[in-house]
Amino acid sequence: MKRKNQLLVAACGLLLASCGTGVKKTPSGIEYIVHKSGSGAQLKLGDTVLLNVAQRLNDSVINESRKIVGAPIPVLISKPQNKFDLMEGIALLHEGDSATFVIPWDSIPAQERPPFGKKGDKLKITFAIENVFSASKQKEKDEKQIKEYLEKNKINATKNAEGVYVAVTQEGTGNTPNAGDTVVVHYTGKLTSGKVFDSSLDSTLRPGMPLEPIKFPIGRGFVIKGWDAGLSGLKKGSKATLVIPSTLAYGLQGSPPAIPANSILVFDVQLVDIKAGAPAPAPTPAPAPVAAPAAKK
């Protein structure tokens, strides 16, 4: 029986070690514990990672990004700037890892300390690494999700040259807008889940604001790229649904809290009016090169 107990203790020790439950230290001395070991590659400088963050003071939860943002947040791995810069710690992790870093409250520079806590307290920050962002993989993911969305909702849309899927439900008349023209647009924006995040036609989403269409010069970068690309092919009076991949919307940053990172956006739009604008200014010609003075003989 004693032999069996010894084997059981040894096995438990190996299991704990493999799970990374022991306290470790970064090169600069930050203590951390890996709760879960992922199977992905180790992170490196220049990677953009999607992660969830939870902060605690001792054992009291301060905030959790998942509850605030509703989705993983993007973080660019860069060189640490000071001793307790957690970039150093994050760069030690792998895709799929979950780890908590412990920083003594009184070791944080006074101007950077949270407005609570006291000497002896510990700030505990947990990072759960979901994955490393890849623009090409995200584009593939968007395409797959858009096609599934269109099929599920029986939307007959055509992908234009810029990558926006456009389904015209009511054809307008006249010409399409030129770059610089002011377009007047009613819209309702939603996620592929169906959750509406904004509308020019719903007072509950804009309390206290008048219900009126948005006006802006098209093709001048005043709106997300997907709007410029989708509206430029519509005629005055047209109604359409625009399905915009995340790369032409708010991308990796999202627009928290309403629009999570890498969200495909769906807009039901009506191009109410087109007002001619000034043509784009001609590019300024580069100055002619000045001839070098002739050498004296």
Residues catalogued as catalytic: 187, 197-198, 224, 250, 267
Residue 67 pLDDT: 86
Domain span at 187: 135-275
- Token reading at 265: 């956006």
Of 98, 132, 166, the last residue of a domain is 132
Q: Is residue 122 located within the same domain as residue 145? A: no
Q: Output the pLDDT for position 15.
A: 34
Query: What integer is the mean pLDDT of 138-153?
Result: 96
Q: Same domain for 127 and 140?
A: no
pTM value surpassing 0.85: no
Kindly report, residue by residue over 93-122, the tens digit of the pLDDT: 999 999 999 999 888 888 877 778 888 999
Please state which of the ranges 55-59, 164-168, 222-226, 292-296 shows the lowest mean pLDDT.
Answer: 292-296
Q: Which of 132, 157, 181 is the last residue of a domain?
A: 132
- Kindly state the average pLDDT of the residues 203-225: 90
Tokens of 242: 């625009």
- Has residue 232 been placed in a domain? yes
- Give the chain's largest Cα–Cα span: 106
Total domain count, the chain: 2
- Cα–Cα distance between 207 and 267 in angstroms, integer? 20
